[in-house]
Structure 1
Amino acid sequence: MNDVAPTPAATDRCPRCAGSFHCGMADAEPCACTTVVLDAATQAALRERYTGCLCLRCLKELCSAPDPSLRGC
């Protein structure tokens, strides 16, 4: 018997890069995006620009942008 839970399918589409990913907000475990900390201004700007969740790669890019006005962390 296999007790390992199946990996969720990447069924979501990132509105920033159009890449596919799995949003884990409804999962039992915390979503991977909870490891990325964005300041309140960046979060507000993202809510205005995009509907839905961004993929982890895009969130990390926004957090480490070389331009401080884009960084958001």
Structure 2
Amino acid sequence: MLKHEIVSCPRCNRTFECRVNSIHRCQCSGVPLTLEERFKISEKYQGCLCENCLRELRAALQKQPDAPL
């Protein structure tokens, strides 16, 4: 059995369990992002972000696609 990793969100520093080996069960799989949204977020942040930050960033990009994150 693979263990999940406890990581810190690079945006808010909140710790959460990353389930990259079980991506369908990971908290991030609940936040649908377009390829463009993924690209813009990955330009600014390295690693996994928490679900709350992903939701906030998605909302910001949907409201104003060219706004800095």
TM-score, structure 2 as length reference: 0.69
1:68 aligned partner: 64
Say if 2:53 is the partner of 1:58.
Answer: yes
TM-score, structure 1 as length reference: 0.66
Write 1 or 2 for the structure with the bigger share of strand: 2
Structure 2 unmatched ranges of 5 or more: none
1:4 aligned partner: none
Compare CA radii of gyration and give the structure with the larger one. 1
Root-mean-square deviation (Å) = 2.8
Identity %: 33
Q: Assess if the C-alpha contact under 8 Å between 1:10 and 1:20 holds in 2.
A: no
Structure 1 unmatched ranges of 5 or more: 1-7
The alignment of Structure 1 onto Structure 2 pairs a total of residues equal to: 64
**Deviations 1:13-63 (CA, angstroms, capped at 9, x unpaired):** 001111111111124852121121111111011112111000011111122
Residue among 8, 17, 35 paired with 1:13: 8
